[in-house]
Structure 1
Amino acid sequence: MSHMDSSLSDEDLDEGQSEVKRIRYDSKIYNVSRRFEKHQRPRRTRLASRDSHSFHVKESNLQGLIFDNGAHTIKINYSFEEEPKIIPNCIMKAKSERKRLFIGSQIDECRDCSGLFYLIPSERGYITKWDVQKPIWDFVLSKNVCPVNNYPVIMTQPLFNFKSIQDCIDEIFFEEYEVSSMFRLNPTDLAVLQYHKEIGAKPPCIIVDSGYSFTHVIPYLEGKKYLKGVRRINVGGKLLTNHLKDIISYRQYHVMEETFVINQVKEDTCYVSQDFKSDLKAAELPPSKNHIIRNYVLPDFNNIRRGYIQDRDQKDEIAENCQILRLNNERFTVPEILFHPSDIGIKSIGIAEAVCKSIFSCPLSFQKDLAKNIVCIGGSTKFDGFRDRLFNEVRSMIPASWEVNVYQPSDPITYNWMGGKVLLKDPEFKSKLVTKQEYEECGMSAIQEKFNQWSIIDIEETVQSKPKIEPVSYIDHLKKYDVFGKGIVSEESSENNEKKNENPEESRKCEEEIDVSSKNDGEEKLNLTDDDKFKLP
């Protein structure tokens, strides 16, 4: 009770001694004091020895708010919850309710989701419209969804994020939302932690992150990303949805404004083909012999909220008054863009080639282990057959003696968020957090170094150095030969030629002297007289 009474004066203590004695044996006050003592005990052990087991246990039980800010959806929840809340990262406006804007998960309250108009804060994966992103964050961090409540925040950002965007994120979270502490990192960093926890080891691995705007292939060596091996493909879920809209609008219905519905069609019907040419031939067969063709019942938002694939054998009375899409080769030609972007004119390599190039760009000692640990995350990897197709293509591009393994989690979308729970259990994580006081004292540049450099590794490559190719000069090569190319000119003659070019007047005199001397030498050797000279032909 000394800590509680330290602010009282001596007179108050004298007058209140009797009152303190009266309430000393009250059960409620006694329980509070017991709780206060229990909370004080770990502090004493922490001050006594920082390396004790109790200190590590306390650090590993740190709770926080995990905020995975994706371009399409936001995955957010507290670390003590089992699953995250998935909220659309956009603002939508419906034709049926023109006066209202639907932010995030409020779209579930919309009566008619046909013809939705989207306001997306990100462009090519990076935040460009802050007037759209800020209201979405206000809704997500409100009391009705996930308030901060003085919890440390783990915030994700895209790979190679711009410095100006990072400054805006830090400013909004520390000054607008008054976050007590924060840590910012890439979502693939969390995926690596979750993968290492599941397998019980920390081998080198490759993360294939195929999301909404792009696809990244990132190698991780010793738990940290190797930037020289990172590969990026500008193909994601947004491009696939837009391409499917173009195909359906050209062949059947005009659906260019039905992004919400066509995205559901893509998720429900599309798959990755294992043999593209054979599936194309099968798609040309009549419907009775065609195993690819499917009928998709579009939602009317009265009786059907989400569309579904119609069964061939059963009669569907509900679908009689609904529009039906007949999907044939669109089911596998759209996801094929992930493996062959050149099909629609994009000059880029596919995912399998990017994985192999990423492996071979890493040091030799890690390449075999990287091929064994390929992890697929992101919404665009949920297509049926994606894992098998990636395995077959990578297997054909890698030496036969190497082992190849492609791992796909049960839920690739929330896999990063689960890795945030692993990060909070790290006993050293609390030292990596940046508090609001450090933000105000150190500034943004020091904070960015702390956030961006902790998971980057720079290893000297042990790849065999290629022999240096010296440039070839054809002029120097031709100087070795005389005018007619019959013989090789000696080095002395070549030096004399260079001197001639430098001093042309002296070179002429030297030539005349050489000619005269050569004539005299010839005459002396032959011992010819004047009469003999005229007799010569």
Structure 2
Amino acid sequence: MAAPRPASNVYTFRDARAVPDPVHEPQLDGAAVLVLDNGSFQLRAGWAGAGPSMQLRSVIARSRGGARSLSRVGNDIPSLEPLRWLLRTPFDKNLPVNLELQELLCDHVFQRLGVTSQGCVDHPIVFTEAPCTPLHVRQMMSELLFECYRIPKVSFGIDGLYSLYHNKKEAMPPSAIVISSGYHCTHVLPILNGRLDGKNCRRMNIGGFHAVTYLHRLMQLKYPGHVPAITLS
């Protein structure tokens, strides 16, 4: 006699609602360092030495030709689905190429973090970028930070290497392999004798976006009666 099948588990899903970011108290120490993890899916920002003060989607809701003052950024967008046709992002895959939209993201972050200096951001910045970022993309970002915000100092770095240092700083291995899986791409970063071996880095165009899209399509095929309710967000 066949064993009875176990009862199916029913799981509930709660729609994630974005909550607008609060305005934090200004940092009075001019030497305090701002850290911006500029991801193509999510931007995380805060002051060095503390946890991220802000986490927001790297999207802007803005109609074509609309004024900057009418744009909504990140968590100020309560629900993405009704405005999906208006969503813009500064990224092409994992590279920021639209500086106007990147400036809107930075304006939002600096304002919510309480940066009060007039006409500039008088704090050094650590800014993450993708491995092997093309030189012209870094030049555009440098131009934005230095000329638009008059940043005194900026350091560009790879988030996967920062993570390795943070997690292994007590006993840093001389050689390692870092697998950095992002929203659009996955990078394999070999570390040899404490330095990144840039020539042997590898990129695969598979990331979280592709996994979510694949699951989204599977759910729609399995439950055709609920297609309107199964959304990417």
Same fold? TM cut 0.5: yes
Is the helix fraction higher in 1 or 2?
Answer: 1
Quick one: structure 1 residues 248 and 82, their matched pair in 2 at CA, closer, same or farther if it must change by over 3 Å?
Answer: closer
Of the three residues 24, 37, 43, the one matched with 1:74 is 43
Alpha-carbon distance in structure 1 between the residues aligned to 2:152 and 2:132: 26
Q: 2-side partners of 1:200 and 1:162: how far apart?
A: 32
CA positional deviation for 1:84: 4.1
Q: Mean Cα displacement is larger for which, 199-208 or 151-160?
A: 199-208
Equivalent position of 2:123 in the other structure: 151
2:162 aligns to what SS in structure 1? helix
* Runs of 5+ consecutive residues of structure 1 not aligned to the other structure: 1-61, 261-537
How far apart in 1 are the matches of 2:57 and 2:160?
A: 20
Larger Cα-atom Rg: 1
Tell me the residue number matched to 1:104. 74
- 8 Å CA contact 1:126–1:158 kept in 2: the answer is yes
Determine the structure 2 residue equivalent to 1:92: 61
**Counterparts of 2:114 and 2:185, CA distance in 1:** 28
| Distance verdict in 2 for CA 1:249–1:231, change over 3 Å | same
User: CA offsets per residue over residues 332-371 of structure 1, 9 Å max, x none?
Assistant: xxxxxxxxxxxxxxxxxxxxxxxxxxxxxxxxxxxxxxxx
Tell whether the 8 Å contact from 2:220 to 2:230 is kept in structure 1 after alignment. Answer: no
**Structure 2: runs of 5+ lacking an equivalent:** 1-30, 64-68
Q: CA RMSD in A?
A: 2.6
The amino acid that maps onto 2:113 is: V
- 1:262-305 Cα deviation digits (max 9, x unpaired): xxxxxxxxxxxxxxxxxxxxxxxxxxxxxxxxxxxxxxxxxxxx
Question: How do 1:415-426 and structure 2 match up within 5 A?
Answer: none
Distance 2:97 2:136 in 1: 10
Q: Any conservation in 2 of the 1:249–1:256 contact (CA below 8 Å)?
A: no
Q: Which runs of 4+ in 1 moved over 6 A?
A: none
Q: Which residues of 2 match residues 230-241 of structure 1 at below 5 A?
A: 230-241=201-212
The number of residue pairs the alignment matches comes to 190
Residue identity opposite 1:254 in structure 2 = V
Please tell me whether the aligned partners of residues 206 and 217 of structure 1 are also in contact (alpha carbons under 8 angstroms): yes
- Residue 220 of structure 1 corresponds to 191
Distance 2:180 2:147 in 1: 32
Q: 1:92 to 1:131 in 2, by over 3 A?
A: same
Instruction: Give SS of 1:76's match.
Output: strand
Residues 74 and 88 in structure 1, CA contact (< 8 A), matched pair in contact too = yes
CA deviation after TM superposition for structure 1 residue 182, in Å: 1.1
CA distance in 2, matches of 1:181, 1:115: 40
Contact 1:77 1:146 in 2 (8 A): no
Deviations 1:138-174 (A, max 9, x none): 11122x2353752211111111112221111011100
Cα pair 1:68 1:187 within 8 Å, conserved: yes
**Quick one: which amino acid aligns to residue 258 of structure 1?**
T
Structure 2 match to 1:178: 150
Percent of aligned pairs sharing the same letter: 19
Q: Note the C-alpha offset of 1:229.
A: 2.7
Which among 206, 214, 218 is matched to residue 177 of structure 2?
Answer: 206
How has the CA–CA distance of structure 1 residues 172 and 234 changed in structure 2, closer, same or farther, with 3 Å as cutoff?
Answer: same
Q: 1:139 aligns with which of 80, 85, 108?
A: 108
Does residue 115 (structure 1) correspond to residue 82 (structure 2)? The answer is yes
Change (3 A) 1:167 1:249: same
Say whether residues 1:259 and 2:228 are aligned partners. Answer: no
Write out per-residue CA displacement over residues 454-483 of structure 1, whole angstroms, 9 at most, x where no aligned residue: xxxxxxxxxxxxxxxxxxxxxxxxxxxxxx
| Alignment partners' CA distance in 1, 2:89 and 2:230 | 15
Call closer, same or farther: CA 1:219–1:255 in 2, change over 3 Å: farther
1:196 aligns with 2:174: no
Q: Hey, what's the Cα distance between the residues in 2 that align with 1:88 and 1:63?
A: 25
Cα contact 2:160–2:180 (8 A) shared by 1: yes
Structure 1 residue 114, shift from structure 2 partner: 3.8
Matches within 5 A, 1:128-527: 128-142=97-111, 144-145=112-113, 147=115, 149-197=121-169, 199-251=170-222, 252=224, 253-255=226-228, 258-260=231-233
Matches of 1:194 and 1:92 in 2, distance apart? 34
Distance 1:100 1:245 in 2: 31
Tell me the distance in 2 between the aligned counterparts of 1:217 and 1:230: 6
Match of 1:421 in 2: none
Letter matched to residue 133 of structure 1: Q
SS in 2 for 1:219: strand
CA–CA separation in structure 2 for the residues paired with 1:256 and 1:79: 41
**Contact 2:33 2:48 (8 Å CA) reproduced:** yes
Which amino acid counterpart does residue 215 of structure 1 have in structure 2? Answer: T
